[in-house]
Amino acid sequence: MEGNERLTAGVAVVVFVLLFVEGLTILSVHSLLHWHVFIGLLLIPPVLAKIASTSWRFARYYAGNPAYRRRGPPPAVLRLLGPVLVVLTVALFATGVLLVVGAPVSLRPALLQWHRLVFVAWFGVTAIHVLGHLADTLSLAPRDWVRRTRRQVRGASTRQWVLSVSLVAGLLAALWVTPYAAGWRF
């Protein structure tokens, strides 16, 4: 149970930092499109790891696992927004990837509009999500990386590997796909 919380928190910090940098590219997306695409692709595996770890908690809780039931559910607002956030996140990344590699030129203006609209909704839901989990995340995230707390819960190395592999997979995806965006214009 706490291992899952640590993984979720550790991935959340990485995702938050990368999303912050991604947000900076929006300020001048025309000149920073290459970096916007690169960081967006880099984010996909860590975001999938975050969705998987939170889905695991959701499944364990609703399947009646005693440890997860004792811990209880997240606050109602966060529980209700969770599925919305997952759908918006998938839509945001899917529209972004389609813009780079999959959309015919004739569909790009409409897809770009969808990407922008989804981003606005996603940003609002994400802000509530981040604020709702901030204290727990800041408390849990470093525990697998600090010698004193690392050994308190089995599996710290595995969680570190999951996080590291997700970042390497994202880096490889970004290096592979970003060149396809080189000639793309709005």
Instruction: Identify the segments of the chain with pLDDT beneath 70.
Output: 182-186
What angle (nearest 5°) sits at the alpha carbon of residue 135, between those of residues 17 and 127? 55
pLDDT for residue 151: 87
Rounded CA-CA distance 152/158 in Å is 14
Residue of 58, 126, 128, 54 lying closest to 88 (CA atoms): 126
pLDDT for residue 181: 77
Do 12 and 137 form a contact (C-beta atoms < 8 A)?
Answer: yes
Q: Which amino acid is at 123?
A: F
pLDDT for residue 118: 98
Rounded CA-CA distance 178/23 in Å is 17
pTM (predicted TM-score): 0.90
Domain ranges in the chain? 2-181
10 Å CB burial of residue 21 (0-12, 13-18, 19+) is middle
Sign of torsion, CA 98 100 106 108? Answer: positive
97's tokens: 């990837």
10 Å CB burial of residue 67 (0-12, 13-18, 19+) is exposed
Rounded CA-CA distance 168/47 in Å is 13
